[in-house]
Amino acid sequence: MKRVVITGIGALTPIGNTAEEFWKSLIEGKSGAAPITKFDAQYFKTKFACELKGFDPLKFIEKSEARKYDMFTQYALIAVGEAVKNANISFGDLNPHRIGVIWGSADGGVITFEEQYSEYIANNRTPKFNPFFIPKRLVNIASGIISIKYGLKGINFTTTSACAASNTALIDAFNYIRWGKADMIITGGSEAPVNQSSIGGFNALKALSTNNDNYSCASRPFDVNRDGFVMGEGAGAIILEEYESAKKRNAPIIAEIVGGGMAADAYHLTGTHPDGDGAYNGIMLSLEDAGIKASEVGYVNAHATSTPMGDMSELKAIERVFGVNSGLNISATKSMTGHLLGAAGAIEAIVCINVVRNDIVPPTINTENVDGNFGNKFDLTLGKAVNKTVNYAISNTFGFGGHIATALFKKYED
């Protein structure tokens, strides 16, 4: 098996429009929640979300080009552009047939679909659709556009496993490289779900927080008073590269990916298994894949969306794997970013990469009263970041339908 390293990252998030800004805000414990500005939310049960701040796509993409792409594709291109720059890649010097793109998204071009259908109804059902309607709304289009932009002719596809989508993409990319099928793969995920249909639909499921009077603290994973997740948007991009390829071009290696576990809860349409069976299997498979013991892991970025059932089932799984009071640090960074659905795994993978790179664990914010007795069992890194040497870090992601994807990262050593 080939060794796989990370040579570049890019992030576009509710708490920072670059990977560096994102990391700084995480360490400072900033909340990205604010009143919704993308549409009039006065008649919705939830009136706030974690939107991007001060973001203008036309600073990065020509207007003529942007009009062809849904927001989720624009987000993807911007995050990938940063990752490519940080990885010091000159594609003209590389074999394009050995470089691929594997991207994740849950909803794809839902904004485009919503806008076009609304226009169709407003025009008395006169079928005057935008010629870019179909390509803009396709879930797979971001990976295709990325490959077109950089002339990449290798493996190219999109994973869609709901909120596990970008971790699934990351693990697939990891496997293709270590199997020798590619030298480099651009991976990650993007999502643009702050729109009427998504907010309204998740409200109908009673999945979103309705804490409109205290929105900055609404995302409170593990807290006894949590009442649902906060919607987020953005993208995370990660350059995975075969170790020898990275060394040959003197790439800036920042971390290593050493394991991935994918499983299924096989339990419920939207709910996680109450005992965390799927999460347990995903974590155990990632450890087995990496060939390490649970005791070697210093940090877990929990999926922890701030939903009543999901948070507790994940902690049960973590307890089964790691035991209690084990010296493990856990944090739920969705307390700051909100839940980016299919892009969540990508930005949380970037969190783990930075943890092993910088030996700092970001906090879980807003959690004041831990549900049950879990506060006595685990270090949930409440309130403030912690300086700690971390050699291995795990990122958990779970999706509607029972999809489980767990990625395991290692501190880079030459």
DSSP element (H, E) containing 310: helix 308-322
Report the chain's C-alpha Rg in angstroms.
Answer: 20
| Contact in structure between 263 and 278 (CB atoms under 8 Å) | yes
Q: How far apart are CA 284 and CA 337, in angstroms?
A: 27
Q: How far apart are CA 42 and CA 261, in angstroms?
A: 42
| Contact in structure between 346 and 287 (CB atoms under 8 Å) | no
- Biggest alpha carbon–alpha carbon distance for the chain: 64
Residue located via tokens 């590269």: 241
Q: What's the order of all strands across the beta sheet hosting 255-264?
A: 156-159, 99-104, 184-191, 234-242, 4-12, 255-264, 403-410, 392-399, 299-301, 329-331
Based on the residue annotation, tell me whether 163 is a catalytic residue of this protein: yes
| Contact in structure between 109 and 136 (CB atoms under 8 Å) | yes
Q: How far apart are CA 365 and CA 324, in angstroms?
A: 21
Sign of the dihedral defined by the CA atoms of residues 106, 110, 113, 118, in that order:
positive
Q: Where are the alpha helices (DSSP H) in 1-42?
A: 19-28
Tokens at 277, concatenated: 């069976």
Closest by CA position to 186, among listed 136, 134, 149, 160: 149
DSSP β-bridge partners for residue 350: none
Tokens at 268, concatenated: 């419920």
Tokens at 120, concatenated: 């169709």
Q: How far apart are CA 17 and CA 404, in angstroms?
A: 28
Q: Which amino acid is at 343?
A: A
Q: Which amino acid is at 305?
A: T
∠ Cα 396 399 403 (to 5°): 85
Q: How far apart are CA 188 and CA 136, in angstroms?
A: 19
DSSP β-bridge partners for residue 406: 261, 396
DSSP β-bridge partners for residue 299: 329, 393
What torsion, rounded to 10 degrees, do the Cα atoms 142, 177, 302, 306 define? 20
Indicate which residues carry an active-site annotation.
Answer: 163
